[in-house]
RNA sequence: GUAGGUGUAGCUCAGUUGGUUAGAGCGCCAGAUUGUGAUUCUGGAUGUCGCGGGUUCAAAUCCCGUCACUUACCCCA
């Protein structure tokens, strides 16, 4: 058992081989898909002014009030590790000129939230996300959702579902809140105490409560869309219609709400079974963020990589399947051969052939065993006898056959 | 912040009402005739039983504390 001082801090973990190969696969395929949809990568700092997050996410949201890693630098500036990626991306876009007005960007990297860790929740976790900036257009929302599904299939994920809803425009918010309160008020006494408080502070949040008593009341409440303007309803209709024409199946979930204040219109979540309580692998939506003197409209999503990996794992997709294997393993016997084989290995590596060898003076059997474990397709055996004759024994590990070859032929066969 | 669970070999875990040399499987290393890998057989190494204190003739086992991990609530990816 490792001593505690050797462990990373709570809620953060090392990603080591072979796990890292799954991460690489996910990142590589994401880049391929993003390129097809013409999204470009941006890399923003992990540390930002705290106010960037309080202003864009909402200064009463849980993420901002109790989950940020905040600190003061030596100049007394209030800084925070980013708890999500949209704020930074939008800051970058708002700072730019005309050409970024319709930016399509993606990012991947660590995010930080100082919460109690549990299944599917780390304090340092990783997100892959995109932002498509531009005036609200329901077709853009649909395209982003289509991209999201494309990603899932590129990764080989089965069994994910999309839940979609609208939370309307800020102008609708008052009507929605009033409408909900009106509908719930007669049964307020049925709710537990904390839910009654939320009735006052944030009624919307009651919709996705896990509390049975709350759900019972919510079940009889009309869907939020009924309190919205005709425009907001038409917006959702167009999103759904566009998705249908792309043959994308979504489930409308009137109870879906989001925890960040910047969302408008369309919001959605990708959920997957077999993940534990945190079953959302991705959250997305359309947003409107005031930043400086500008208002940025956009639509995007962020996927939790750790949760994605858990979902893939429940589909039987594991890191081992993506671990690279050496093209060739070199077995040596004798001092002179070992020395020559290191030179051979170097030459092969410079020619782009991945190659592993044992630098000790272990027995052939032990070296063969290691070659097998490493998954080498072929093994070169060269001892002092081969060295004298100027030949190489090349063994095919799959069928066990082997032959003696000279250097030119060896190079051809590798 | 609140509540439950767990902490024994590199990994997964067993350890019976406290009883003396703490186990298994996997992995690792070595051997089964001379330089050949998935199998089989034989042998071997490795533990401050999370840490600290207490009860006891005796503690991995009981009690207290502490740390870590884990699951769930809140909320979120």
Residues near A49 by Cβ (< 8 Å), separated by ≥ 6? A77, A78, A79, A80
Q: Which of residues 385-414 of A touch strand B (CB under 7 A)?
A: 385-386, 393, 395, 397-400, 402
Provide the CB-side half-sphere exposure for A169 (13 A, CA): 10
A223 C-beta less than 7 Å away from strand B: no
State the complex-level ipTM. 0.86
Least-confidence region, from A73-87, A173-187, A282-296, A373-387: A173-187
Residues A354-358 have a mean pLDDT of 93
* Protein residue at shortest CA distance from C1' of B69: A10
Given a cut of 90, is residue A235 above it in pLDDT? yes
Q: Which of chain B's bases lie under 7 Å from a protein CB? A: 1-3, 7-11, 28-31, 35-38, 48, 50, 67-77
- Whole-angstrom CA distances from A265 to A101, A134, A404 are 20, 14, 70
- Considering A6-15, A45-54, A189-198, A316-325, the range whose residues carry the highest mean pLDDT is A45-54
Backbone angles phi, psi at A398, to 5 degrees: -70, -50
Task: Report the distance from CA of residue A16 to the C1' of nucleotide B59 in Å, as an integer.
Answer: 38
CATH superfamily of A4-169+228-320: Bira Bifunctional Protein; Domain 2 (3.30.930.10)
Percent of chain A with pLDDT over 90: 66
Task: Report the distance from CA of residue A373 to the C1' of nucleotide B74 in Å, as an integer.
Answer: 47
A109: confidence class by pLDDT, cuts 50, 70, 90: very high
A278 C-beta less than 7 Å away from strand B: yes
How large is the C-alpha radius of gyration of chain A? Answer: 28
Q: Which class is A325-413 in CATH?
A: alpha beta
Helices and strands in chain A: count of H runs, count of E runs: 14, 16
- A325-413 and A4-169+228-320 share a CATH fold: no
Q: Residue ranges of the domains in chain A?
A: 4-169+228-320, 325-413
A130 C-beta less than 7 Å away from strand B: no
Percent of chain A with pLDDT over 70: 98
Task: Report the distance from CA of residue A377 to the C1' of nucleotide B41 in Å, as an integer.
Answer: 28
Cβ contact A357:A342 at 8 Å: yes
Q: Which of residues 297-316 of A touch strand B (CB under 7 A)?
A: 302-304, 306-307
Model pLDDT, residue A201: 80
Q: What is the pLDDT of residues A335-350, one digit of tens each?
A: 899 999 999 999 999 9
3-state secondary structure of A245: helix
Mean pLDDT of chain A: 91
Q: Is the peptide bond before A18 cis (omega within 30 degrees of 0)?
A: yes
Cβ contact A380:A394 at 8 Å: yes
Given a cut of 80, is residue A100 above it in pLDDT? no
For CA atoms A14, A120, A34, A95, give the dihedral sign. Answer: negative
Task: Report the distance from CA of residue A10 to the C1' of nucleotide B17 in Å, as an integer.
Answer: 39
A363 C-beta less than 7 Å away from strand B: yes
Given a cut of 80, is residue A75 above it in pLDDT? yes
Burial A294-324 (b: 16+ CB within 10 A, else e): eebbbbbbbbbbbbbbbbbeeeebebeebee
Task: Report the distance from CA of residue A151 to the C1' of nucleotide B65 in Å, as an integer.
Answer: 50
Rounded-to-integer distance, Cα A266 and Cα A239, Å: 8
* Protein residue at shortest CA distance from C1' of B48: A1
């Amino acid at each position: 058992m490792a001593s505690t001082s050797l462990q990373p801090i709570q809620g953060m973990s090392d990603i080591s081989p072979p796990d890292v190969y799954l991460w690489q696969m996910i990142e590589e395929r994401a880049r391929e898909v993003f390129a097809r949809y013409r999204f470009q990568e941006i890399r923003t700092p992990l540390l930002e002014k705290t106010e960037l997050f309080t202003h864009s996410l909402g200064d009463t949201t849980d993420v901002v009030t109790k989950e940020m890693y905040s600190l003061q630098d030596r100049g007394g500036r209030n800084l925070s590790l980013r708890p999500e990626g949209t704020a930074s991306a939008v800051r970058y876009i708002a700072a730019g000129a005309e050409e970024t007005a319709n930016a399509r960007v993606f990012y991947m990297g660590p995010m930080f939230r100082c919460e109690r860790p549990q299944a599917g929740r780390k304090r340092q976790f990783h997100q892959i996300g995109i932002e498509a900036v531009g005036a609200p257009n329901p077709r853009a929302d649909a395209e982003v959702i289509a991209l999201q599904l494309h990603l899932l299939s590129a990764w080989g994920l089965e069994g994910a579902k999309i839940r979609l809803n609208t939370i309307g425009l800020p102008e609708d918010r008052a009507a929605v809140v009033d409408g909900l309160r009106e509908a719930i008020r007669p049964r307020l006494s049925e709710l537990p105490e904390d839910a009654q408080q939320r009735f006052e502070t944030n009624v919307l949040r009651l919709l996705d409560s896990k509390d049975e008593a709350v759900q019972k009341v919510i079940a009889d409440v009309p869907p939020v869309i009924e309190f919205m303007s005709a425009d907001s309803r038409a917006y959702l209709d167009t999103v759904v219609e566009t998705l249908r024409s792309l043959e994308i199946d979504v489930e409308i979930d009137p109870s879906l709400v989001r925890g960040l204040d910047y969302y408008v219109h369309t919001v959605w979540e990708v959920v997957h079974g077999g993940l534990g309580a945190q079953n959302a692998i991705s959250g997305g939506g359309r947003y409107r963020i005031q930043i400086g003197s500008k208002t940025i409209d956009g639509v995007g999503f962020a996927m939790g990589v750790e949760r994605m990996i858990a979902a893939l794992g429940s589909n039987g997709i594991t890191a081992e399947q993506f671990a690279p294997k050496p093209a060739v393993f070199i077995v040596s016997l004798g001092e002179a051969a070992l020395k020559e084989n290191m030179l051979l290995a170097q030459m092969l590596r410079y020619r782009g052939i991945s190659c592993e060898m044992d630098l000790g003076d272990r027995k052939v059997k032990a070296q063969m065993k290691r070659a097998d474990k490493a998954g080498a397709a072929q093994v070169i055996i060269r001892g002092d006898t081969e060295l004298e004759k100027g030949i190489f024994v090349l063994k095919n590990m799959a069928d066990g056959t082997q032959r003696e070859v000279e250097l030119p032929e060896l190079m051809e066969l590798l």
